[in-house]
């Protein structure tokens, strides 16, 4: 079953915080159990939960009945807790008064919660019970048994409601225990009740019960009606009447508006209706077909990405005062980016020395000088994880005042940077390097297209200064690339489509990642990231490394992974590697930059401890994976929409892939399944035609027409 990504991140963070809270309480000297997460509690004075198990702890000790007269209690009635005022009591029985004046006689053993400090007069019992119910409702809204179960399920022991209440709510009040007790007694999924003790079910048991309950729910009348509506819309049947769809529209809009509270029942119905897209995509598609799509970019809404910042974050972006940094005399630093780039986070330069060696400088925007750890901007950036580049819009990780202005390396302006300075030998070896914060003034800005044109020009005595700078940079990059290739680096650059959607108009251009200027910039970024990792490894500074083994068992390349330890990275050909070159656009880069700047400037002091980096590592992997997947789905959706509009019934050049199972369209570097082709070797050039295009599912099928003579 697919799960909503934003909701998963929030739940993981909440559960992690809950575990840390338990660990802190364990550190305060309380009794530990097994892994040190759970603990035992003593009942507070003037309060207890009646439980016969407590009596068994000392069978020789006489239990004196507690006095309830004149106080509020809650008693068990048909599986629920009922509040009342005790107006009379005897040895084994009490008489309670409810809010409408009815008296009830019940066994003393049924009283589970006692409020000794709540002693309303008989005529005020209704108001007292209303106040109690309001307090309970407020706490009940916070209770999440799923999160509680995730924390305690690994510990082989039972818990009382008192223990659970203090663990989850952080306090031991009678109201908290009553809410917890009622929630646990009503639960049929996560915990097994043994009198008034509770034991967490295993993950397998919970999943089995969850599936069973969800099937029951889906068979209900309302569930069937809603499911039928979803199927009708998504399978292009007749659009139901507005009366039928009104409640569906309301439910789906609510589902998309708040990714943290998306209904599990509705998620399952959406998955059942269309299994090969995410539930959020299905919800948006239904609303769009009903003419009720929420305003805003399609995939920003589907991904549950917030596009606005808090007032405090916006204010901090304008007023943040960066610390003083020493000036760096680098008169040749330039930036090379796409034409539309406004988050400029790197500048590079190359100085040719008298002995043929080269001094390379990579300046990365020093975003950490503006974004205080734990401040409003930092919290916003951490919640996003990265800037999202979608065809319809860009949703930035940081407010524009920082990301596109104060921290962005705009040519002609003084900017704070974190500099890597490396000395390169004539043969391309890295002789030494240093990293340090500084202030520079960028000399010029070039686009990739402009830089490629300048590099193509013949160098003569009247060559443009920018051309000479680019030539030196290219010479250095060529040496770095050759050294990495010798070390086993996998140097593969694929063309990729860049898609923009403006007012419904789709524009597609191709990006050649193997162009001279893009390769040049890539080499300098790889060098900067390697030097940062090497410094951290040499000085025992905790950071997050990227590692990649050479080959998998079948000879294929293994995906890179994150680690707290330096390891070989086959993709780049270095013995250790990290990624800090995009702090404006990736939160993990910002955090690691913060860590290294502190280590360099504060006498090896670091900001993050290894266990804190573990939390960052988990969040970074989630954000990176989910961000890439959202961007991939968005790009393919809009590209296939473009194909529907412009490429139908046209012969298209393609290249056979996977022995004829698929083909890649030359002009767009996108693959689809290939139908009707004879047995053809991989890389054969052919002509095809679009057979089936389904943007919603990301599906593309091609019909074979003919081979292309070489």
Looking at the domain assignment, is residue 676 inside a domain?
yes
CA dist 560 and 199 (Å) reads 40
Domain boundary among 590, 624, 658: 624
CA dist 82 and 122 (Å) reads 17
Output the six-digit token pair for 614.
């573990």
Output the CA–CA distances (angstroms, integers) from residue 325 to 294, 321, 600, in the order listed: 46, 12, 13
Output the six-digit token pair for 187.
């639960």
Are 289 and 316 found together in one domain? Answer: no
Other Cβ atoms within 10 Å of 7 Cβ, number: 17
Looking at the domain assignment, is residue 7 inside a domain?
no
* Exposed / middle / buried, residue 578 (Cβ in 10 Å: 0-12, 13-18, 19+): buried
Are 193 and 266 found together in one domain? Answer: no
Are 454 and 567 found together in one domain? Answer: yes
CA dist 431 and 568 (Å) reads 20
Q: What is the dihedral of CA 389, 393, 396, 402, to 10 degrees?
A: 120
CA dist 9 and 571 (Å) reads 29
481 contacts 521 by C-beta, under 8 angstroms: no
pLDDT at 489: 85
Output the CA–CA distances (angstroms, integers) from residue 411 to 107, 469, 555, 693, in the order listed: 82, 15, 45, 44
130 contacts 99 by C-beta, under 8 angstroms: yes
Domain boundary among 142, 166, 201: 201
CA dist 676 and 679 (Å) reads 10
Backbone angles phi, psi at 398, to 5 degrees: -125, 155
Are 180 and 59 found together in one domain? Answer: yes
132 contacts 89 by C-beta, under 8 angstroms: no
Residue by residue, DSSP assigns 8-21 as: HHHHHHHHHHHHHH
pLDDT at 491: 81
pLDDT at 221: 67
Output the six-digit token pair for 266.
């509705």
Tell me how far the alpha carbon of residue 226 is from its chain's centroid: 30
CA dist 286 and 308 (Å) reads 26
CA dist 53 and 684 (Å) reads 77
Looking at the domain assignment, is residue 85 inside a domain?
yes
Are 379 and 481 found together in one domain? Answer: yes
Q: What's the total number of domains in the chain?
A: 4
* Exposed / middle / buried, residue 379 (Cβ in 10 Å: 0-12, 13-18, 19+): middle
CA dist 61 and 55 (Å) reads 8
Residue 363 sits at the vertex; the CA angle it makes with 362 and 369, to the nearest 5 degrees, is 150
Looking at the domain assignment, is residue 362 inside a domain?
yes
Rg (CA), the chain: 32
Are 617 and 661 found together in one domain? Answer: no
Tell me how far the alpha carbon of residue 197 is from its chain's centroid: 36
What strands lie across the sheet with 191-194, from one edge to the other? 159-160, 197-200, 191-194
Looking at the domain assignment, is residue 446 inside a domain?
yes
pLDDT at 2: 42
105 beta partners: 95
Are 457 and 376 found together in one domain? Answer: yes
Residues of the chain under the 50 pLDDT cut: 1-3, 6, 9-10, 13-14, 16, 21-63
CA dist 530 and 98 (Å) reads 72
Looking at the domain assignment, is residue 213 inside a domain?
no
Number of H helices and number of E strands within the chain? 20, 25
Output the CA–CA distances (angstroms, integers) from residue 304 to 90, 274, 383, in the order listed: 58, 20, 12
Are 247 and 144 found together in one domain? Answer: no
Domain boundary among 268, 295, 322: 295
Are 419 and 461 found together in one domain? Answer: yes
Range of the domain at 702: 647-707
Output the six-digit token pair for 525.
């970024």
Are 392 and 523 found together in one domain? Answer: yes
CATH of the domain at 677: 2.40.50.140
Are 428 and 488 found together in one domain? Answer: yes
pLDDT at 18: 56
692 beta partners: 701
Looking at the domain assignment, is residue 175 inside a domain?
yes
Q: SS3 for 130?
A: helix
Residue by residue, DSSP assigns 610-654 as: HHHHHHHHHHHHHHHHHHHHHHHHHHHHHHHHHHHHH-TT--EEE
Reduce the secondary structure of 396-452 to three states and give it as a string: CCCCHHHHHHHCCCCCCCEEEEEEEEEEECCCCCEEEEEEEEEEEECCEEEEHHHHH
Looking at the domain assignment, is residue 335 inside a domain?
yes
Are 424 and 560 found together in one domain? Answer: yes
């Amino acid at each position: 079953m697919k799960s909503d990504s934003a909701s998963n991140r929030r739940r993981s963070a909440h559960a992690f915080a809950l575990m840390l809270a338990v660990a802190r309480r364990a550190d305060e000297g309380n009794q530990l159990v097994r892994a040190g997460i759970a603990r035992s509690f003593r009942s507070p004075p003037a309060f207890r939960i009646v439980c016969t198990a407590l009596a068994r702890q000392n069978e020789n000790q006489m239990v004196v009945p507690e006095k309830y007269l004149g106080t509020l209690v809650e008693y068990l009635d048909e599986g629920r807790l009922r509040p009342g005022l005790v107006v009379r009591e005897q040895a084994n029985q009490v008489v309670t008064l409810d809010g409408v004046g009815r008296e009830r006689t019940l066994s003393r053993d049924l009283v589970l919660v006692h409020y000794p400090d709540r002693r309303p007069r008989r005529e005020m019992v209704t108001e007292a019970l209303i106040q109690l119910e309001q307090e309970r409702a407020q706490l009940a809204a916070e209770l999440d048994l799923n999160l509680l179960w995730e924390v305690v399920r690994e510990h082989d022991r039972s818990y009382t409601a008192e223990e659970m209440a203090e663990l989850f709510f952080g306090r031991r009040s009678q109201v908290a225990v009553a809410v917890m007790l009622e929630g646990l007694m009503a639960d049929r999924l996560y915990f097994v009740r043994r009198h008034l003790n509770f034991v967490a079910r295993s993950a397998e048991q919970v999943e089995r019960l969850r599936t069973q309950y969800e099937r029951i729910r889906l068979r209900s009348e309302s569930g069937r009606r809603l499911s039928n509506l979803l199927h009708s819309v998504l399978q292009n049947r007749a659009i139901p009447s507005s009366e039928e769809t009104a409640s569906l529209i309301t439910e789906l809009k609510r589902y998309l508006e708040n990714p943290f509270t998306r209904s599990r029942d509705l998620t399952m119905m959406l998955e059942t209706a269309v299994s090969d897209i995410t539930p959020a995509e299905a919800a948006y598609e239904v609303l769009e077909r009903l003419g009720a799509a929420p305003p805003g970019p399609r995939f920003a809404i589907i991904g549950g990405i917030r596009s606005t910042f808090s007032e405090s974050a916006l204010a901090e972006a304008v007023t943040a005062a960066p610390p003083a940094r020493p000036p760096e005399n680098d008169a040749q630093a330039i930036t090379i980016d796409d034409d539309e780039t406004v988050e400029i986070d790197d500048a590079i330069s190359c100085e040719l020395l008298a002995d043929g060696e080269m001094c390379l400088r990579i300046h990365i925007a020093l975003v950490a000088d503006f974004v205080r750890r734990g401040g409003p901007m930092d919290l916003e950036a951490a919640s996003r994880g990265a800037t999202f580049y979608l065809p319809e819009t860009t949703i930035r990780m940081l407010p524009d005042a920082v990301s596109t202005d104060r921290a962005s390396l705009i040519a002609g302006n003084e900017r704070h940077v974190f500099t890597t300075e490396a000395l390169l030998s004539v043969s391309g070896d890295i002789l030494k390097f240093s990293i340090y914060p500084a202030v520079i003034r960028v000399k010029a800005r070039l686009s990739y297209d402009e830089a490629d044109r300048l590099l193509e020009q013949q160098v003569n005595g009247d060559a443009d200064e920018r051309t000479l700078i680019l030539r030196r940079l290219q010479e250095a990059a060529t040496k770095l690339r050759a050294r990495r290739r010798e070390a086993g680096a996998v140097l593969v650059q694929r063309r990729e489509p860049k898609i923009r959607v403006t007012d419904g108009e789709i524009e597609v251009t191709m990006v050649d990642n193997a162009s001279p200027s893009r390769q040049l910039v890539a080499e300098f970024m790889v060098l900067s990231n390697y030097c940062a990792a090497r410094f951290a490894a040499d000085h025992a500074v905790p950071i997050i490394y990227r590692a990649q083994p050479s080959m998998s068992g079948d000879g294929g390349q293994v995906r890179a992974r994150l680690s707290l330890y330096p390891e070989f990275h086959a993709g780049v050909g270095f013995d250790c590697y990290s990624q800090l070159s995009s702090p404006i656009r990736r939160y993990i880069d910002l955090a690691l930059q913060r860590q290294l700047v502190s280590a360099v400037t504060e006498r090896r002091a670091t900001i993050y401890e290894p266990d804190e980096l573990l939390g960052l590592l988990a969040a970074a992997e989630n954000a990176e994976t989910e961000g890439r997947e959202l961007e991939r789905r968005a790009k393919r959706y809009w590209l296939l929409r473009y194909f529907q509009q412009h490429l139908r019934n046209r012969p298209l050049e393609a290249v056979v892939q996977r022995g004829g199972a698929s083909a890649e369209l030359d002009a767009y570097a996108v693959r689809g399944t290939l139908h009707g082709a004879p047995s053809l070797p991989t890389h054969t050039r052919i002509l095809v035609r679009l057979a089936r295009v389904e943007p919603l599912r990301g599906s593309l099928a091609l019909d074979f027409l003919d081979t292309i003579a070489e």
